[in-house]
Structure 1
Amino acid sequence: MQESPVKDKQALRKLYDTILPELAQHIHQHLADVIPLFHDFKLEKLVDTWTREPGAGTSTEISLDKGNVNQMGLRLRLEGFQRVGADNFDLTKDLLFQLDRTFYTIGPNPDNVWLEKDYLQKWDEADYELVAEKWTEQLIDDLTERLEKYTL
């Protein structure tokens, strides 16, 4: 009987060091038409080192190296929208990996899941594209909504 993959240091490191950078590249490609509309652009990895697992003591350090992180992901910051007739504004959007004990989910928030994977399950090109496309669509919807507020 094969043991189920569990959240541990190696699984979290693989997500952080391999999956997130590859996903960021796909997202960056999908944002090629949006980025020039802003003065500055940042796409960075994030790790939640504040949220403790249920039953964990307050003295337990939360880190990737301890294998007890509950959430990581990507944060996009688009700063200084540059268009004639529109006020400057910034957009921030997170993509979250909710890390359960034997699997993780990916989506813009815990209530909206686009993909669920086991820790040992490989990502293929279609997985990266699915998440990048959905996230980019939501970002463009956010941008459109923001612009419509300025034109009404």
Structure 2
Amino acid sequence: MEHPTRDKQAIQHLYNTILPALAEHIHQSIMPVLPLFDNFGLERVIDTWTKDPASDADTEVSVENGNVQQLGLKLRLEGFQKPGIETFDLAKDVIFKLEYTSYTVGPDKNNSWLEKPYLQRWEKPEYEEVASRWSEELIDDLTQRLEKLT
């Protein structure tokens, strides 16, 4: 069977279908943390500045050209609220690193929790696993910040 490769259709599928569904799962899994902060934002991001080392230097990085290397979700938690503790913000990403015939999902470029071929559907347990690992890391980040401040 011919494997789909990274192209405009594969990238749009991730951006328009997979990311919003994953964002929904992440939102659910971080609900307990949200009241600790004034404000939060969870948004989709596309990296259009990292060039594909294999491609022509003049080719613009874009969804249209099917050569985006990374996309993902960015969470911002703003204004941690607790009496006696200086307010702070937290940010955390989920990165989809787009290889030629598959992509990996993880908290940064070097760690991957999941690898999938393009256009393969995600099953519910996959969304849940990524969301829960991600929210565990977020809570670890938060705990470390608080330990430093107290």
When normalised by structure 1's length, the TM-score is 0.96
3-state SS of paired residue (2:12): helix
3-state SS of paired residue (2:57): coil
Q: Which residue of 1 aligns with 2:52?
A: 53
Residue 33 of structure 1 pairs with residue 32 of structure 2: yes
3-state SS of paired residue (1:94): strand
Q: Which runs of 5+ in 1 are unaligned?
A: none
Please report the RMSD computed on the Cα atoms of aligned residues, expressed in angstroms: 0.9
Q: Which 4+ stretches in 1 moved above 3 angstroms?
A: none
Moved more, 39-48 or 50-59: 50-59
Identical positions, percent: 57
Does the 8 Å contact 2:13/2:119 carry over to 1?
no
Q: Which residue of 2 aligns with 1:119?
A: 118
Residue 141 of structure 1 pairs with residue 112 of structure 2: no
Q: Which runs of 5+ in 2 are unaligned?
A: none
Report the residue type matching 1:34 in the other structure: V
Report the residue type matching 2:23 in the other structure: A
Matches within 5 A, 1:96-115: 96-115=95-114
Report the residue type matching 2:34 in the other structure: I
Give the paired residue count. Answer: 150
When normalised by structure 2's length, the TM-score is 0.97
Does the 8 Å contact 2:102/2:115 carry over to 1?
yes
